[in-house]
A and B are shown apart, each in its own frame.
Chain A
């Protein structure tokens, strides 16, 4: 029986030890680091280390760390308790006054100290709350971990691709897909630019949610998600829709529609539209032309005449975008925020300077 107890004690002591904390955190840090380069190193990638963060044993490390954190925090409680239940004085207060005790208490109170009386001992603490900082920070970390767990079980994160003038309810997640109980209609996606610059100022999708019979309008830009029924939608990215983006060429005086990524032959010439973009806020097209006498390629501005064989001018361009939205549902979100607030508030306490004096009053 005793041996079992000793064994359990040993395990408990190991599980709460700082040594285990350091080992676990070092392992977590090490594999996290490997994960950031594994995508570029073949044998690491073959081991699946580029996605190490989602693996079972990485989760196991975190679970072990949480257990370690809980036990180590609990094991600190007796020390803190002892700190606030003074047994022996570390200072003698000598006074001739009869009311020496009350006098000392008033003196300490005037210094805004927290005071405790026990038998003939008077304990005074400056910033006693400082000693709870570590509990706060550890608790905050646990709450964040719990919130993340809730989010990973009951939440999801994924991507939605919606062409212009179409609706979708399919969200592609990291290794699966799911359908939302409502759909999102992309009415329009726009890229705006700063005046006279090639720097984009805004990516914006406007449209509406189709929920049973309701139509709820929305618009979203980067950093400004919109929320419907607890699901967040973010402007993440965009791409040209090849089925609906084209330019109109004027070839030998006849108008030809040239779709993105779809080569067209006219007489002896082959045309290929490789890309559409903006320059100085005006559409430009990357065009390849192949003629019997040779080939040419280049970016052409709308309305410019081009020296590409038989083409005289590009009359018109139509760009249609597929908006790419990040979609997330995170029921643990508010829990995480609470953890964050507790962590920040408690870590601020570290800057306070704790002091403890236990007086014994002696009359002389």
Chain B
């Protein structure tokens, strides 16, 4: 019903990305501020959308937070990312904000063509639990924090002086951008996403790789470590609340269901990352772990719901 508000928010996110890109080219501080302000504005518009959907759900007689199906969960992920990025917008490098907004608009664009149902439906019995809110909010804030860690990690690699790092960074950012462009092209032309995606991936990554040589190395660990610690604590709480919920729903804290297992793997990867950060390893080293960690987040979040069957599969409807 309010989906045009979501579109407006996405439009503002994209606008903020363009302004931030411009600020890099021109090198003006005012453009950087403008881009970041647009990002904050976009977040508040998206938050408005979320609130309205919550109210609408409530008016239909269902009292739950709209985070329970695939569509709502993706929107909530972008909302969490927008929220965390907004919280620390002042101190963050424009490049990280730029890619946060690209992550968000890519997700929202892909979502609009994926064709998930946007209807507000009542909850199935498995999801009717008081633990839902705590489990989902903590897990998604953790995912969002790891997304920022990923963007910062990719940026460290992208701006590094080593060729292999540049290639990995270019592929990460290239992958993200080509997802966005593929979403747009496929929604207009209905061509094969695999073909369009691969072409974009090769083209954009190559272009980014060439461009990377003009960058100065970015070796600050701040935006790798802060989201890492925050995300790790929240993921820990997310897994714990999830397993208490499981205790009341399935008969035990832990069942080695694929989603549980992958969240555990993700937890281990970030746990290792965290301990290496304490050991004062280089930004480059932590960045590689950040990239691996986020791939694991993607498998936990997407792969398990859509590929591996299990107790969490209702998320794919």
Bitwise interface map of A from 321 to 346 toward B, beta carbon under 8 Å scored 1, else 0: 00000111010010011001001100
**By the criterion CB–CB under 8 Å, are A222 and B272 in contact?**
no
Residues of A within 8 Å of B244, CB to CB, are 337, 340
Residues of B within 8 Å of A53, CB to CB, are 256, 261
In the complex, which residues 140-195 of chain A have their Cβ closer than 8 Å to any Cβ of chain B? Answer: 148, 151, 157, 194
A interface bracket (residues with beta carbon within 8 Å of B): 35 or more
Looking at the complex, which one of B129, B250, B269, B272 makes contact with A234 (CB distance below 8 Å)? B250
A36 to B299 CA separation, bound complex (whole angstroms)? 11
What residue in chain A is nearest B253 (Cβ atoms)? A336
- Residue B262 CB within 8 A of the other chain: yes
In the complex, which residues 294-310 of chain A have their Cβ closer than 8 Å to any Cβ of chain B? Answer: none
**By the criterion CB–CB under 8 Å, are B233 and A350 in contact?**
yes
Among A17-25, A82-90, A123-131, A211-219, the stretch in contact with B: A17-25
A194 to B268 CA separation, bound complex (whole angstroms)? 41
Looking at the complex, which one of A33, A201, A203 makes contact with B262 (CB distance below 8 Å)? A33
What residue in chain A is nearest B229 (Cβ atoms)? A350
**By the criterion CB–CB under 8 Å, are A29 and B265 in contact?**
yes
A157 to B243 CA separation, bound complex (whole angstroms)? 15
What residue in chain A is nearest B245 (Cβ atoms)? A223
Main DSSP-derived SS at the B contact region: helix
Residues of B within 8 Å of A11, CB to CB, are none
Residues of B within 8 Å of A351, CB to CB, are 229, 233
Residues of A within 8 Å of B124, CB to CB, are 199-200
**By the criterion CB–CB under 8 Å, are A18 and B279 in contact?**
yes
Given A33-B265, A222-B249, A348-B233, also A343-B125 (CB < 8 A): no
**By the criterion CB–CB under 8 Å, are B262 and A22 in contact?**
no
Given A234-B249, A350-B233, also A197-B262 (CB < 8 A): no
A223 to B64 CA separation, bound complex (whole angstroms)? 15
Residues of B within 8 Å of A28, CB to CB, are 268
**By the criterion CB–CB under 8 Å, are A25 and B261 in contact?**
no
Bitwise interface map of B from 114 to 142 toward A, beta carbon under 8 Å scored 1, else 0: 00000001101110110000000000000
Chain B residues at the A interface, C-beta cutoff of 8 Å: 121-122, 124-126, 128-129, 229, 232-233, 236-237, 240, 243-244, 247-254, 256, 258, 261-262, 264-265, 268-269, 271-272, 275, 279, 304, 308
Given contacts A29-B264, A200-B124, A351-B233, 15 further A-B contacts (CB under 8 A): A18-B275, A21-B272, A21-B275, A26-B268, A29-B265, A35-B261, A53-B261, A194-B122, A201-B125, A223-B129, A234-B249, A235-B125, A343-B236, A350-B229, A351-B229
Chain A residues at the B interface, C-beta cutoff of 8 Å: 18, 21-22, 25-26, 28-29, 32-33, 35-37, 53, 148, 151, 157, 194, 197, 199-203, 221-225, 232, 234-236, 326-328, 330, 333, 336-337, 340, 343-344, 347-348, 350-351
